[in-house]
A and B are shown apart, each in its own frame.
Chain A
Amino acid sequence: MREITTNTITQAVKKLCMDANYFLNADVYDALEKAKETEVSPVGQEMLCQITKNADIAAQNQVPICQDTGLTVVFVTIGQEVHITGGSLEEAIQEGVRQGYVEGYLRKSVVSDPFLRVNTKDNTPAVIHYRLVPGDTFQLDVAPKGAGSENMSKVFLLKPSDGIEGAKQAVLDTVEAAGPNPCPPIIVGVGCGGNMEKAALLAKEALLRPVGKHNPLPHICQMEEELLSRINATGIGPQGLGGRTTALAVNVEVYPTHIACLPVAVSISCHVTRHTHCTL
């Protein structure tokens, strides 16, 4: 039985929160650089230049890339042979978020109740998803997500007869409806199958996959490529000001589902798609 202390976990979460918000991931940065070579709209070009310049400033000064430093989403992968010592795992993660956001000068964007709306002043609580796996691994993925793009995400409960074409149309309709709102170029996470909440979680997990890496299933890989091409043909462009760079990637994940179901969740993420991880 491997032991990990709650203090180690708190320190790791704190650092991941700060790093995720200060440093644009290399996969996203590289995709933006590549887009500059192909974008045909002059305004689109200017937007892409501002976006990478902004990322450079943020990294250099260690300040957030975007003022919306998000609702913190933490994926915890725990080996069943790991023993957490020193207190509550849940509280250790929340304390890491608290310290990261307070000490890292990150914005506190969480309200304690959806209707009463009083700011908690430390960005807690985070949304935490636990995955129990064999062995003694312990991995943290921290993915703070801004609300501009989160608000454009959707879940569709399609019929099996709608098929893969229906799923593609749902994704395209979501992106078209979002237009300039989610700060394109976007990354689109799609979850197909399972039930309502499983599809939504798959869509969120799909955003953790690096830009440029495709699903190994041939029909899903093809779906990703086709959707990316069709999304970039919408004309929405960087910041919605016109162009051919509306999305940098479409990542689709699938899961078995019920004979009567075809859930499709679309998680839209902005050009500041944040995901950091570490293994303890």
Chain B
Amino acid sequence: MTHEITTPLTKETAATLRAGDIIRLSGVIYTARDAAHKRMLEEYKTTGTFPFEMENAVIYYAGPAPAKPGAVIGPAGPTTSYRMDAYAPFLLDHGQTGMIGKGKRSDEVVEAMKRNKAVYFAATGGAAALISSHIKKACIIAYDDLGAEAIHRLEVEDFPCIVVIDSEGNNLYETEKAKYRLETK
């Protein structure tokens, strides 16, 4: 089923999404990957705040390539999500409702998703130039010194992704792999 979703992503909307749903996402999302996650948690522990509103936020695990002159942003596909597993439960417990990345998640992340009614979306890994055409505005809002790992605020339109793990813990990677598996010797 195809859903058009606009951020902020409320828990109520998140809870209606099911693994396998095709999503066209519009609105504001934030990029953060390894170093930005580490720093966000450190910052929260000392100041009690995050660099952006975490309530109902969707975080995109991505580190864009530089923009060519005149371009909104460079190619910006998803990075592999499991590296953020150490940080994700803390952010989900503090209001985050959506994660966009690619690849498997830990049991701890899935439990935190179920607890908080959050959703994990996959974007197409390596389809960075195609994905960037759905990013209409981009600016760095925090951790500029991290280069590609800085936090970008993105305004996206019909950003293509798919629900891989839903708020009940259903996992598309597992169900689809089983469906297409062939028994060999």
Contact = CB atoms under 8 A, between A and B. Distances in A.
A66 B177 contact: no
Interface string A221-255: 00000000110011111011111100000000000
Contacts of A54: 124, 126-131
B62 interface: yes
B184 interface: yes
Interface stretch (B43-51, B76-84, B107-115): B76-84
A239 B127 CA distance: 11
Contact of B180 (A41, A107, A179): A41
A51 B126 contact: yes
A179 B177 contact: yes
B63 interface: yes
B53 to A, nearest CB: 25
Contacts of A234: 177, 181
Interface size class of B (residues with CB under 8 A): 35 or more
Contacts of A272: 126
B110 to A, nearest CB: 15
Overall SS of chain A's interface:
loop
A148 B75 contact: no
Contacts of A53: 127, 130
A40 B130 CA distance: 23
B180 A235 contact: yes
A47 B124 contact: yes
A50 B75 contact: no
A41 to B, nearest CB: 6
A272 B181 CA distance: 24
Given A54-B129, A108-B148, A234-B181, A64 B104 contact: no
Contact of A107 (B126, B127, B148): B148
Interface stretch (A55-63, A84-92, A258-266): A55-63
Contacts of A219: none
Contacts of A117: 35
Contact of B126 (A44, A66, A230): A66
Interface string B173-185: 1011111111110
Contacts of A270: 125-126
A119 B175 CA distance: 39
Interface in B113-170: 122, 124-133, 146-149, 160, 162, 164
B37 interface: no
Given A43-B176, A108-B147, A242-B179, A67 B124 contact: no
A65 B64 CA distance: 12
Nearest to A270: B126
Contact of B102 (A43, A61, A183, A230): A183
Contact of B176 (A50, A183, A229, A237): A237
A181 interface: yes
Contacts of A47: 124
B74 interface: yes
Contacts of B64: 67, 107
29 contacts: A40-B180, A41-B180, A43-B176, A51-B127, A58-B129, A63-B71, A64-B129, A65-B126, A66-B126, A67-B77, A67-B128, A68-B79, A105-B67, A105-B68, A105-B74, A107-B63, A109-B63, A148-B102, A180-B104, A180-B122, A235-B177, A235-B178, A235-B181, A235-B182, A236-B177, A242-B175, A242-B176, A242-B179, A270-B125
Q: Closest 7 CB pairs between A and B?
A: A242-B176, A235-B181, A183-B125, A235-B180, A181-B103, A233-B182, A54-B130
Interface of A: 40-41, 43-44, 47, 50-51, 53-54, 57-58, 61, 63-69, 105-109, 117, 119, 121, 146-148, 151, 179-183, 229-230, 233-237, 239-244, 270-272
